[in-house]
Amino acid sequence: MVRKLFLLLSVFLITAFPLIGGEKKTQTQSGWQLVDETVAVVNGEPILLSDIKLYMLLFGEKDFNKALNRLINIYLVAQYGESRGIQIPPQKVQQIVQHFAQSQGKTVAQLYEELQRVGLGGAIFSNFVKKYNLYVATIQLFVLRPLYQNKAELETLIAAHSPKAIPVYTLEVLKIPKDVAVKNQDLLVSENFQKISQKLGIQPIEFSATLKDLKPEIAKVVKRLSAGQTDFAEDKNNIYLVKVLKVEYKTPKGSREKILKRIEEEKIEEFIKTLRENSVVKILPEALKALQTSP
């Protein structure tokens, strides 16, 4: 039941909501106050044993150290998001919890009672819901959104992750007979499609093609151009003004989604690595030793 609740909540960007009971983290004027079950401290903020137990239950993680490491990452990203002004309205939490409770045939009070019975209600559950959704929002805003906004870079990354990817070029091409080109050399030097087209009365054509679909003379030029660049190609009878509008990569069927997922994971890892390098993370060896020796 708890895992289904978490999956529903994580679809939305939500913050903490009031639950009764459970362990508490208190924050004084001088910072966070550590308690006996503190296992790690992330930029002064404690991660408690109950946080780790909750994570292990929600995600089905059986390895304590993996769960702890994942929680550290979540806290780092959430803290970064808060420092950049990300705020999540508490009203959204109540709305989602109510919808979930109704889908389970329960009231919100009954749902809270069920969480309390497994010892994961109260402030611990509330804090984790807030942290995780701050994590999701921060990743979306500062990692994934920039990744997908820069389409040229994304396509380059896709190509790098797929040796079998085939570049598909969207081109604008102006075909000019050589005798006309010779008479208008000064005009052609401008590489201005609109100006050349109007002056010569020749309309450019726009199309998409792979290199093998192009005339060899044009393919040779296109191959060394990046999106937005322009150059000339020529054959026996014509001069071609060629502009690469964009480059996309055709991947084997069904592989593009897998490649994108891998790229997303790598970008998230890079983001978290940078945060770790600029943060103070302390794992308390005494706490871990006590956990390992406890029956």
pLDDT above 90 covers a percentage of the chain that reads: 46
The verdict on 219 and 273 lying in the same domain is no
Asked if residue 137 and residue 17 are part of one domain, the reply reads yes
Q: Do 143 and 39 fall within a single domain?
A: yes
Residues in CB range of 233: below 8 A, 6 or more apart: 215, 217, 218, 220, 221, 222, 239, 240, 242
Structure-block tokens of residue 156: 């380059």
pLDDT of residue 291: 59
Structural domain harbouring 178: 166-250
Does the pLDDT value for residue 31 go beyond 70? no
Tell me: do 102 and 138 sit in the same domain.
Answer: yes
Closest CA to 174 of 240, 247, 244: 240
pLDDT at position 48 over 70: yes
Contact yes or no for 125/54 (Cβ under 8 A): yes
* Residue 294: predicted pLDDT: 54
Strand partners, 239: 176, 234
Are residue 176 and residue 102 in the same domain, yes or no?
A: no
Dist CA 279 CA 266 (whole Å): 20
| Between residues 205 and 27, the one the model is more confident about | 205
23-27, 55-59, 217-221, 256-260: the lowest-pLDDT one: 23-27
Structure tokens at 262: 């891998």
Sign of CA dihedral 79, 80, 83, 87: negative
Greater pLDDT, 183 or 18: 183
What is the four-CA torsion angle of 174, 176, 182, 185, rounded to 10 degrees? -20
Domain co-membership, 111 together with 223: no
Q: Are 145 and 170 in a shared domain? A: no
Is 48 within 8 Å of 155 (Cβ atoms)? Answer: no
pLDDT of the residue at 133: 85
Element (H, E) at 116: helix 108-117
* pLDDT of res. 12: 40
Same domain, 26 and 127: yes
Question: Long-range contact list for 221-229, CB < 8 A, 24+ apart?
Answer: 222/169, 222/171, 226/152, 227/152
Residue 118: the pLDDT is 75
Domain count, the chain: 2
Q: Does 99 share its domain with 230?
A: no
Q: What is the mean pLDDT of residues 239-263?
A: 90
Q: Are residues 132 and 270 in the same domain?
A: yes
**What's this model's pTM, rounded to 2 decimal places?**
0.67
**17 has pLDDT over 60:** no
Tell me, yes or no, whether 212 and 276 share the same domain. Answer: no
Radius of gyration, alpha carbons of the chain = 29
Of the chain, the end-to-end C-alpha distance in Å amounts to 28
68: CATH: 1.10.4030.10
pLDDT of residue 96: 67
| In a shared domain, residues 246 and 270 | no
Average confidence score pLDDT of the chain? 82
For residues 252-281, give the mean pLDDT: 93
